[in-house]
Amino acid sequence: METPAASTKPTAAPADGQTVTDWGRIWDKLPKGFPVYAGATASEETDQGPASAVFVVEGVDPTDVIGWYDTKLEAAGYKTIALDGPSEDHGYTLDTSGKSVDCRIEVRAVPMGSGSDFVAIPVMYGAACPKP
């Protein structure tokens, strides 16, 4: 069976406050009240690429971080679609959907390099989710 060719139609420009990424269109920030792992701080100094937010935390295991986000997002009404890892970078990925199946959130927990005790937590908050 042949795979259909990718669409060559131009996509609309992102709305103000949004960015187009390889993952999809995202909001440039998270909504107020979005859960943040204990001890994590906002950071722009990681090499994780575009994200709605990136947090960094020291001295934790990425599996603990991703498990915590799975529990918190489920409690907030999001449904877990997939929980994957470890990947090549030893990170873990959580994919969820909101009340609308089009509202997607991806949270990653990725060690920040060999010998580092820090974990980066990039969050993609999909553009189909409510505006933050």
In this predicted model, what pLDDT tens digit does every residue of 71-106 receive, in sequence order? 999 999 999 999 999 999 899 999 999 989 999 999
Helical (H) or strand (E) element with 111? strand 104-111
Residue identified by tokens 């859960």 is 35
Give the DSSP letter string of 66-100: HHHHHHHHHHTT-EEEEEE---TTS-EEEEEE-SS
Instruction: Kindly tell me if the per-residue pLDDT of 11 is higher than 70.
Output: no
Say whether the peptide bond before residue 35 is cis (omega within 30 degrees of 0). no
Instruction: Kindly tell me if the per-residue pLDDT of 14 is higher than 80.
Output: no
Tell me what the pLDDT averaged over the chain comes to.
Answer: 88
Please report the pLDDT score of residue 66 as a whole number.
98
Please report the pLDDT score of residue 16 as a whole number.
81
Question: Per-residue pLDDT averaged across 51-67, rounded?
Answer: 96
Statement: 18-125 belongs to CATH 3.30.310:
yes
